[in-house]
Amino acid sequence: MNEEETQDMVKNVRALLEAFYALSFANPLIVAINQLEGQHILPAEEAYPEIFNDPKVRPYFNLFLSGSERGYLKLTSFGKMMKEFKEHIHDLLSNDDLIARVNQGFGIELSNPVRDFVYSAVSATDKVGKICLRTAARLSKYYSLGEPSMVKERFDIEISKEQFREKVKELNELLLSVSSDYIEVPELFKPYILEASSELEGEERRGNEQ
């Protein structure tokens, strides 16, 4: 292989790696699809008017998500394939040593897109939000929306039900999965939430994790 062929190969590998990266949480479209899957169409349209109200954008978005008979957004066949591939990409990009070698070897700047996304979301909320996230990330199962008792047990602060619900509603657009009664943090996010909110570690009561 001569020098020109070598350069072409490196260029093609670099383009392939960057294409893989674009199918991760580094791409706002991937984040939006992840957040909208399973949501009811009406609040989804209110949350993302730049997608649903733009006739130039919505047809492309419909490649990934469609409405169910009950009015909820579900992944299309193409969307399911992309989701599965995205999970493999996130697993690959979670290896910091590998990413460092790839960046050095091919002259690109990839990073861990899940960590970047979580850190950005955590930094966008206030201390109470971080406490709610950190509490939820410590749990191994759902906890109820009705009573913010777990926050009180882990941190020496009082949060009213109204404040708790409002904060959870805000965080639902970032890192939490919220149903009508329960909150859940995806396993993928938990270590990075704890990492990104580590300044609160000294205030946290360990206790027994649920």
In the three-class reduction of DSSP (H, G, I as helix; E, B as strand; rest coil), residue 72 is classed as strand
Q: 208 lies in a domain?
A: no
Q: How confident is the model at residue 210 (pLDDT cuts 50, 70, 90)?
A: very low
**Chain segment 124-182, per-residue pLDDT in tens:** 888 888 888 888 777 766 555 555 677 777 777 777 777 776 776 676 655 655 555 56
pLDDT at 54: 83
CATH number for position 56: 1.10.10
**Chain segment 37-54, per-residue pLDDT in tens:** 888 888 778 777 888 888
Cross-strand pairs, 75: 65
Using a pLDDT cut of 70, give the percent of the chain over it: 84
**Same domain as 58, residue 78:** yes
**Same domain as 37, residue 14:** yes
Task: Tell the residue number behind the tokens 């070897």, with chain if given.
Answer: 105
**Residue at 177: amino acid letter:** S
**Same domain as 60, residue 146:** no
**Same domain as 177, residue 132:** yes
**Same domain as 79, residue 172:** no
Identify the domain boundary among 48, 83, 111.
111
The number of domains in the chain is: 2
The domain in which residue 46 lies consists of 3-111
**Same domain as 123, residue 87:** no
Question: Mean per-residue pLDDT for 111-122?
Answer: 91
Question: Mean per-residue pLDDT for 87-96?
Answer: 92
**Same domain as 195, residue 100:** no
Identify the domain boundary among 111, 141, 162.
111
- Spell out the long-range contacts of 71-74 with Cβ–Cβ below 8 A and sequence spacing 24 or more: 71/40, 71/41, 71/42, 72/38, 72/39, 72/40, 72/41, 73/36, 73/37, 73/38, 73/39, 73/40, 73/41, 73/44, 74/37, 74/38
By mean pLDDT, which of 10-24, 59-73, 166-180, 182-196 is the weakest? 166-180
